[in-house]
Amino acid sequence: MKITKLTTYIVPPRWLFVKVETDEGISGWGEPIVEGRALTVEAAVHELSDYLIGKDPFLIEDHWNVMYRGGFYRGGAVHMSAIAGIDQALWDIKGKALNVPVHQLLGGQCRDRIKVYSWIGGDRPSDVARNAKEMVERGFTALKLNGAEELQIIDSYAKIDAIVETIGTVRDAVGPHVGIGADFHGRVHRPMAKVLAKALDPFRLMFIEEPVLSENYEALKEIANHTSTPIALGERLYSRWDFKNILSGGYVDIIQPDLSHAGGITECRKIASMAEAYDIALAPHCPLGPIALAACLQIDAVSYNAFIQEQSLNIHYNQDNDILDYITNREVFDYKDGFVAIPQGPGLGVDVDEAYVIERAKTGHRWRNPVWRHEDGSFAEW
Domain range for 202 is 104-347
Does residue 371 sit within a domain?
no
pTM for the whole structure: 0.96
Q: What integer pLDDT is reported at residue 351 of this predicted model? A: 98
- Taking the CB of residue 245, how many other CB atoms lie within 10 A of it? 12
Q: Are residues 228 and 257 in the same domain?
A: yes
Domain boundary among 84, 100, 116: 100
CATH number of the domain within which 147 lies: 3.20.20.120
Residue 48 lies in a domain: yes
* pLDDT at position 361 over 90: yes
pLDDT at 123: 61
Asked whether residue 378 is assigned to any structural domain, the reply reads: no
Residue 339: what pLDDT? 97
Angle in degrees, 0-180, between the axes of helices 264-277 and 77-98, rounded to the nearest 10: 100
For the question of residue 103 being annotated catalytic, the response is no
Per-residue confidence (pLDDT) for residue 318, from 0 to 100: 77
Shared domain for 153 and 8, answered yes or no, is no
Q: What is the pLDDT of residue 320?
A: 82
The string of pLDDT tens digits covering residues 67-120 is: 999 999 999 999 999 999 999 999 999 999 999 999 999 999 999 999 999 988
Domain boundary among 100, 125, 155: 100
Side-chain-side CA neighbours of residue 165 (13 Å): 12
Q: Which residues contact 225 (CB under 8 A, 6 or more apart)?
A: none
Whether residue 93 sits in one domain with residue 122: no
In this structure, the number of other CB atoms found within 10 A of the CB of residue 261 comes to 32
Say yes or no: 226 and 77 in one domain. no
Same domain membership, residue 186 and residue 53: no
Q: Are residues 244 and 152 in the same domain?
A: yes
| Percent of the chain predicted with pLDDT > 90 | 90
Asked whether 54 and 2 are in contact (CB, 8 A), the reply is yes
Q: Is residue 13 part of a domain?
A: yes
- What are the tens digits of pLDDT across the range 290-344? 999 999 999 999 999 999 999 988 777 777 888 999 999 999 999 999 999 999 9
Query: How far, in Å, CA of 117 to CA of 287, rounded?
Result: 11
Is the CB of residue 210 less than 8 Å from the CB of residue 189? no
Same domain, 118 and 144: yes
Residue 352 domain-assigned?
no
**How high is the mean pLDDT of the chain?**
95
On whether residue 213 sits in a domain, the answer given is yes
Same-domain pairing of 8 and 49: yes
Of the candidates 285, 316, 365, 374, the residue annotated as catalytic is: 285
CATH of the domain at 7: 3.30.390.10
Give the pLDDT band of residue 121 (cuts 50, 70, 90). confident
Q: Are 137 and 74 contained in the same domain?
A: no
Helix (H, G, I), strand (E, B), or coil: what is residue 270?
helix
**Over residues 34-51, mean pLDDT:** 97
- Let me know if residue 337 belongs to a domain: yes
Widest pairwise Cα distance in the chain: 63
State the pLDDT confidence band at 129, using cuts at 50, 70 and 90: confident
Cis previous bond, 13, omega within 30: yes
User: Could you tell me if residue 343 is inside a domain?
Assistant: yes
Give 146's pLDDT tier (boundaries 50, 70, 90): confident
Q: Which of 63, 103, 185, 189 is catalytic?
A: 185
Of 32, 65, 100, the last residue of a domain is: 100
Number of domains in the chain: 2
Name residue 292's amino acid.
A
Sorted by sequence, the CB contacts under 8 Å of residue 311 that are 6+ apart come out as: 116, 117, 118, 286, 293, 323, 333, 340
Rounded Cα gap, residues 27 and 17, in angstroms: 13
Q: Assess whether 88 and 150 both reside in one domain.
A: no
pLDDT digit string, tens, across residues 220-274: 999 999 999 999 999 999 999 999 999 999 999 999 999 999 999 999 999 999 9
Question: What number is the average pLDDT over the span 168-185?
Answer: 94
